[in-house]
Copies of this chain bind each other. A is one copy, B any other.
Amino acid sequence: MTFSVAGFRFAGCAAGIKKAGGLDLGLIVADQPVVAAGVFTRNLVRAAPVDVSIERLGLGRVRAVLANSGNANACTGAAGLAATLASTQATARLLGLEGAQVLPASTGVIGAVLPAEKIEAALPGLVEGLSADAAEDFAKAICTTDRWHKIVRGTVATESGPPASVVGIVKGAGMIHPDLGPAPAQGSGPLHATMLAFFVTDAKADRGALQAALERAVELSFNACSVDGDTSTNDTVLALASGLAGSANETALFEGFLPVCRELAKQMVLDGEGAEHAVEIRVEGLPDDAAARTVAKTVATSLLVKTALFGKDANWGRLLAAAGRAGVAFDPKGASISVAGTCIFEKGTPLGKEVEAVANRGMTERSYGIVMTLGTGPGSFTYLTSDLGHGYVDVNAGYRS
């Protein structure tokens, strides 16, 4: 399967940024200046490449995205900012562009200045390798602790003619609890590394529609999943639209992007550091979706719930206890809970060890759902989470060593 989209070329190479070696520098180039949109971490502490991308997105159309893994260029002060500027300017020179047309993104260890000289040395080979068929190389180049690269194709309905294409690429495994918004509150110093996502489409879109569609799709996918409850300082989602296919309005873009975002979010959670399961926590029956979201998020981020998922334990007590501390009113005596398709708790009463044993077997699946019905209201929300086990501790207790 190829992941080409009209108007874009891709490349990935090993620039020696990652200690462990492997692909660590990726490039997306648009044949012409393209419409672009982005959402970024709402963390007060932001890495230099995030600040630079936000500023450049405001200047108009863009031509390229330069992304690296192995170094987040975070908390590196003026030297780090200079390194981000130098590496994107070097890219622009090679491609005959303005520096401001290149959007940077970085992920990896923090506190070390981006090695701009290694990037500059690798750039000629990277540019030479640009190809319409190399999106997977780009996807591989941005991986850090990811166990596999993540790339998904979808379609966008157009006003006339055949549907346009959209390809989404994401990296992310730990520090996954995105809280992305269009307009970060404050400028700031730099930091860590996590979720990067890139979308390219050949739909013809105006910038406002692309931005609005991206924000809406992100809200129901990346902003509704959690591996460890920590929101990174480098979280970045960019979308580029070449306009070589038919026109798409905001609704069409949203509806096209959403399934791609959801599939990428699911893969990201499945690849959660040390995770063995991706679990959809669905909360139903509350007065509105916002209340359901609050409860679903509290359950999805509960350590006791996540360790129970790891232990394959249909522990309705922990589920209900987490829901109970979410700050949303409901009557526990009317609550029902099903796990992996088996109802284990109905209208406030546990249904016993036998059905729990059935549910426990369902929890051996790589992916399953938990439904908590907390009333009779119309509000519902689904939050994606992962289990938390020894793998998570191993990855995160030793990350910098």
Which residues from chain A sit less than 8 Å from chain B, CB to CB?
A: 42-46, 74-75, 77, 110-111, 174-175, 179, 185-186, 188-189, 191-192, 228-233, 301-304, 307-308, 310-311, 313, 315-318, 320-326, 328-333, 335, 345, 348-350, 388-390, 392-393, 396-401
Contact = CB atoms under 8 A, between A and B. Distances in A.
A329 B45 contact: no
Contact of A317 (B110, B325, B329, B390): B110
Contacts of A401: 311, 313
A390 to B, nearest CB: 6
Contacts of A315: 399-400
Contacts of A324: 43-46, 188, 191, 233
Residue with the greatest number of chain B CB neighbours at <10 A, chosen from A175, A231, A303, A322: A303
Contact of A111 (B307, B317, B392): B317
Copies of this chain in the oligomer: 2
Nearest to A194: B321
A385 to B, nearest CB: 12
A397 B392 contact: no
Contact of A311 (B302, B331, B332, B397): B397
Contacts of A328: 44
B311 A396 contact: yes
A304 B174 contact: yes
A339 to B, nearest CB: 14
Contacts of A304: 174-175, 228, 230, 396
A320 to B, nearest CB: 5
A332 B110 contact: no
A48 to B, nearest CB: 12
Contacts of A321: 43, 45, 175, 191-192, 230-233
Contacts of A318: 192, 230
Given A189-B348, A304-B396, A393-B393, 5 more contacts: A43-B321, A75-B320, A230-B321, A389-B393, A390-B393
The 6 closest A-B pairs by CB, nearest first: A45-B324, A311-B397, A189-B332, A307-B396, A44-B324, A110-B317
B307 A397 contact: yes
A111 B191 contact: no
Nearest to A41: B325
A397 B189 contact: no
B333 A189 contact: yes
A57 to B, nearest CB: 21
11 contacts: A44-B330, A45-B323, A74-B317, A75-B320, A77-B349, A111-B316, A188-B333, A191-B324, A229-B302, A307-B397, A313-B397
A237 to B, nearest CB: 17
Nearest to A227: B303
Nearest to A42: B325
B303 A228 contact: yes
Contacts of A311: 396-399, 401
A191 B397 contact: no
B389 A188 contact: no
Contacts of A388: 303, 393
Given A230-B325, A303-B303, A349-B77, A44 B192 contact: no
Contacts of A191: 317, 320-321, 324, 332
A198 B307 CA distance: 30
